Structure 1
Amino acid sequence: MHGFISQTKTLCCAAAVFAAIVLSGCMSTNPVCSPSSYTGDAAVCCPPTADDTAGVRDASDAFYAALNQMFLGNIAPMDAVWSHEADVSQLGPMGGRIAGWDAVDQEWRLVASLKLGGKVVAKNMQVVAGPCMGYTVTEEVGENMAADGKPVKVYFRATNIFRKEKDAWKMVHHHTDLSEGLIEATGERQ
């Protein structure tokens, strides 16, 4: 039994170290840790640079510009901001969980075909970045148009996750609150 417990502790510790390295985006086997910039209580391995934070913010801005173009029926900017890998996902305002680039792309194309019009902006954004991964927590505020041409107010809390791919930040996950107003306006629910 003692050997099993020791082995289990070793595996758990190894898994925790692996997860910390992968999730922080640091590929070094001996990551250098520094005090957290928030409270100083936690250690942050591979601390972000100003370029990492700016890169994630720029990628987020590009996503919201692409979102507004998509509302007009233009899908090309949305294709450009997303990673095209199988591990991307979306939990959008119509509900459901969409996984994999092909499914996410299909969903964005469907929304683009609705030509909802309007505009959504990100407000009160918090950006957290590392060398290879980053995320934003924000509020999406604006309006779209229902099929009858009436405006539908939009207010969601949103989390967006980005990954650096070939020196460019790409979206890998988008998650918003559900919107009964948009579901009713479009007749779509997943």
Structure 2
Amino acid sequence: MNSHQHTQELMPMYSRVVRTRLSSISIAILAAVAIAGCQSTSPICCPTAFSSDSAVCCPPTAGDIAGVRAANDAFYAALNEMFVGNITPMEAVWSHESDVSQLGPMGGRIVGWDAVGKEWRREAALKLGGKVVAENMQVVAGPCMGYTVTEEVGENMTADGKPVEVRFRATNIFRKEQGGWKMVHHHTDLSAGLIDATGEVK
């Protein structure tokens, strides 16, 4: 047997060894990332779960879905409180991290809790009144992130007491943090009616 033939015979065995070692290294890296994602020094807790029986890497549990649904309900309860000037519930439902964002019905793109919180306080001061509810909601959730797709339906009031219809498509994204599920993104359609009523556009 010449050296070339010997090398060819060894190649499949060598490839299997390399693949096995790379697989072990990959598993170790994933485990390290999962552990690092839940350090007690961070307010964000994102455990990673993998299931070989599912095409979804992080399959949801009933608790995850219920948690995201409850967080979404809390957001709309807070929104209606904000319409009468009470900002406290809205501050409680949001993450206060620098990566949160909002694209609201008056346009613009707001990033970071400092800016998002400031915008909610400004809107609370308008005391738009009325009520908005979430309808036709779809909930998607995993161990650390979840979102809802819904329709916001209801009405607000102009400064002179005239009703303004609210009917938006909306997406809400939530993240599991040490204080529970917190909103990290809110996105709705633009509202010509609210822009006209408030005289504001972003």
Q: TM-score, normalised by structure 1?
A: 0.81
Written as runs of structure 1 = structure 2, the 5 A alignment for 1:155-170 is 155-166=167-178, 168-170=180-182
2:71 counterpart residue number = 59
1:153 and 2:165 matched: yes
User: CA shift at 1:26, angstroms?
Assistant: 5.0
User: CA shift at 1:125, angstroms?
Assistant: 0.3
Runs of 4+ aligned structure 1 residues displaced above 6 Å come to: none
Which one of 48, 53, 57 corresponds to residue 27 of structure 1?
A: 48
Higher Cα radius of gyration:
2
User: Could you tell me the percent identity over the aligned residues?
Assistant: 76
CA contact (8 A) 1:34 1:47 kept: no
Partner Cα distance (1:151, 1:144) in 2: 6
Partner Cα distance (2:173, 2:154) in 1: 21
Q: Report the 3-state secondary structure (helix = DSSP H, G, I; strand = E; otherwise coil) of the residue aligned with 2:146.
A: strand
Q: TM-score, normalised by structure 2?
A: 0.76
Partner Cα distance (2:182, 2:89) in 1: 12
1:97 counterpart residue number = 109
Partner Cα distance (1:33, 1:146) in 2: 54
Which one of 55, 58, 69 corresponds to residue 46 of structure 1?
A: 58
CA contact (8 A) 1:49 1:131 kept: yes
Q: What amino acid does structure 2 have at the position aligned with 1:66?
A: A
Written as runs of structure 1 = structure 2, the 5 A alignment for 1:67-106 is 67-106=79-118
CA contact (8 A) 1:95 1:189 kept: yes
Partner Cα distance (2:179, 2:124) in 1: 28
Q: Report the 3-state secondary structure (helix = DSSP H, G, I; strand = E; otherwise coil) of the residue aligned with 1:47.
A: coil
CA RMSD of aligned residues (A): 1.9
Aligned residues: 162
2:8 counterpart residue number = none
Partner Cα distance (2:48, 2:92) in 1: 26
Q: Which runs of 5+ in 2 are unaligned?
A: 1-25, 38-45
CA contact (8 A) 2:48 2:143 kept: no
Deviation string 1:52-83 (CA, Å, 9 cap, x unpaired) is: 00000000000000000000000000000000
User: CA shift at 1:170, angstroms?
Assistant: 0.2
